[in-house]
Amino acid sequence: MLENIRVILSHTTHPGNVGAAARAMKVMGLSKLGLVNPKRYPSAEATERASRATDILASAQVSSSIEEAVADCRLIVGTSARTRSLPSKLITPRELTEIIQQNPERYPVALLFGTENSGLTNEELHMCHYHVCIPTNPEYSSLNLASAVQLIAYELRLAFAEFDVPSQRITENEVPITREQLNGVLQHFDQVMRHTGYIQPQQEKQINIRMNRLLSKADITQSEMNILRGFLRSVLNYCDKHKSNK
């Protein structure tokens, strides 16, 4: 089970934190690390802080964007100590393990951690199905990046180290779509809304954000995606025929 969970660190500024996060992961049995535009990597400091978890650093996947890092993931979870406008579903680390246990069809799972100074951006959080908030002292809620990784990894190990979640027989059409496929659906909606004149320039950003949130929360399956995209194609075809008949 733990091999289906990917820890992704976005725009890290201190290489020591990357190494410490790798060590925290290995202690708890996690092995998949992703890095999005790290400021310095590879780094001797990261290697030193990783101690005997250098194998995790060596196999880390480096991406240029969050979209690239989570393209094949079916469950995306952001972490942040701050509340935001338009938040995703807010859960605790323990609730996260329950969600993963109850949805074995939603692998791989991506856990996103933001840059040390400011955490994940609102745009990055809008890509997430859930928003994990570690219940800390409200008067001093700041956690070191590696400590946050360690706490969530600990909860995952408690839930999954002694047993594995039994696989459920789910047809291919009912498997949730990947983030890459969801991006394709969003682009298709954008194309149709522009074609019909629905999107106005002053509303474009908010509509895109809300459509992203709406479809992320819907947990769209393969068959549902096929219905949506078939409908969107029919809208475009109808518009083109209507224009040609004028």
Query: Do residues 81 and 55 share a domain?
Result: yes
**Residue-range definition of the domain harbouring residue 187:** 172-244
Please report the pLDDT score of residue 246 as a whole number: 63
Q: How many CB atoms are located within 10 Å of the residue 27 CB?
A: 15
Please report the pLDDT score of residue 244 as a whole number: 74
Query: Do residues 83 and 196 share a domain?
Result: no
In a domain, 63, yes or no: yes
Query: Do residues 54 and 110 share a domain?
Result: yes
User: Last residue of some domain: 160, 184, 214?
Assistant: 160
Report the distance separating Cα 133 and Cα 59, nearest Å.
28
User: Could you tell me the CA-to-CA distances from 63 to 115, 156, 233 in Å, in that order?
Assistant: 15, 25, 32
First-last CA distance in the chain: 58
Structure confidence by residue, pLDDT tens digits, 32-74:
999 999 999 999 999 999 999 999 999 999 999 999 999 999 9
What's the CA dihedral at 94, 158, 176, 10 to 10 degrees? 80
Query: Do residues 116 and 39 share a domain?
Result: yes
Q: Enumerate residues 6+ apart whose C-beta is below 8 A from 154.
A: 28
Please report the pLDDT score of residue 169 as a whole number: 56
Tokens of residue 93, six digits:
């680390």
Please report the pLDDT score of residue 171 as a whole number: 67
Please report the pLDDT score of residue 142 as a whole number: 79
Per run of 10 residues, the mean pLDDT along the chain (length 246 residues) is 94 96 96 96 94 96 96 93 62 94 92 91 90 88 91 94 56 85 96 92 89 92 95 94 76
Tokens of residue 232, six digits:
């969107």
In a domain, 197, yes or no: yes
Q: Enumerate residues 6+ apart whose C-beta is below 8 A from 161.
A: 2, 29
Report the distance separating Cα 60 and Cα 208, nearest Å.
31
Please report the pLDDT score of residue 165 as a whole number: 47
Query: Do residues 227 and 116 share a domain?
Result: no
User: Last residue of some domain: 104, 136, 160?
Assistant: 160
Please report the pLDDT score of residue 119 as a whole number: 87
Please report the pLDDT score of residue 84 as a whole number: 55
Instruction: Say how many domains are in the chain.
Output: 2
